[in-house]
């Protein structure tokens, strides 16, 4: 099925939103909970699946739901349809700071493989599936890169990335990357995992035990701040319950806990 031809506008800088304009009977699909606001005339329904294969049997739909459950994503996707007589808009944003990357799938081989939490929304007709990495090394040591999402279609799709986003065009080249810093890559790019240097570098270098490698010819999107890295840093510096704070603002932090009744 051909994807719906939606229009869009990006708002913001470091905490971006995408405003999608729908003609009558046009639909955009999104991850559950991604919607910010919508205009009159927009109707939404939670459905199991992306709607790209309306004639797919019950067993096939259940299989797709099971794959999504493995990634930790909601088993439902929300379909937003303009049921009015004129143009109407719906806006989406991701749950943490970063950039939104608009991708015309028809321009990159009708497919992109991305991190499992990178997909934000897409035009109806886009197929959202799970891409398990078949290589043993990538499976055991790939971290965020073990289970990836694959978007297929000929319309617009929107990915979300943390921090600054860099677009690289590879022409038979190789990139070695922290697994969490990959946002997505087009067909023609081969993904694998390799050891991060010698044993000393692996255990004391601070870059993790393994790195991802992207080889081939195609487009690669990279992010400077994976959410997992941000979350780890926040947890490491969060004050422990019943313990003392350290670092900047510890006095104010202590006063805050007194006011909240934690002490």
Q: What is the pTM of this model?
A: 0.79
User: Region 230-239: what's the mean pLDDT?
Assistant: 72
User: Region 232-236: what's the mean pLDDT?
Assistant: 74
Q: Look up the CATH architecture of domain 7-232.
A: 4-Layer Sandwich (3.60)
Per-domain residue ranges of the chain? 7-232
C-alpha span between 191 and 212 (Å, rounded): 7
User: Quick one: pLDDT at residue 227?
Assistant: 73
C-alpha span between 120 and 124 (Å, rounded): 13
Token output for 111:
């497919």
Query: Comparing 210 with 133, which gets the higher pLDDT?
Result: 210
Lowest mean pLDDT among 31-45, 77-91, 197-211: 197-211
**What does the chain come to in residues?**
263
């Amino acid at each position: 099925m051909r994807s719906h031809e939606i229009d869009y506008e990006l708002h913001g800088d470091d905490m971006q939103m995408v405003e999608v304009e729908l003609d009558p009977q046009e639909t955009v699909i999104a991850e559950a909970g991604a919607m910010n606001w919508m205009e009159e005339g927009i109707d939404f329904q939670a459905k199991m699946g992306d709607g790209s294969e309306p004639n797919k049997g019950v067993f096939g739909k259940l299989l797709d739901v099971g794959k999504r459950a493995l990634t930790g994503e909601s088993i439902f996707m929300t379909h937003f349809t303009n049921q009015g007589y004129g143009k109407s808009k719906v806006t989406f944003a991701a749950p943490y700071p970063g950039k939104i990357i608009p991708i015309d799938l028809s321009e990159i081989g009708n497919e992109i493989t991305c991190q499992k939490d990178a997909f934000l929304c897409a035009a109806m007709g886009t197929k959202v599936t799970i891409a398990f990495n078949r290589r043993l090394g990538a499976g055991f040591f790939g971290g965020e890169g073990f289970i990836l999402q694959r978007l297929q279609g000929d319309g617009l799709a929107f990915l979300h990335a943390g921090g600054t986003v860099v677009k690289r065009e590879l022409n038979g080249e190789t990139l070695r990357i922290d697994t969490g810093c990959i946002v997505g890559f087009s067909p023609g790019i081969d993904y694998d995992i390799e050891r991060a240097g010698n044993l000393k570098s692996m255990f004391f270098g601070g870059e993790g035990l393994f790195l991802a490698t992207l080889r081939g010819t195609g487009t690669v999107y990279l992010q400077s701040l994976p959410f997992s890295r941000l979350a780890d840093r926040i947890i490491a510096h969060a004050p422990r319950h019943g313990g003392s704070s350290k670092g900047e603002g510890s006095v104010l932090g202590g006063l805050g806990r007194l006011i909240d009744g934690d002490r």
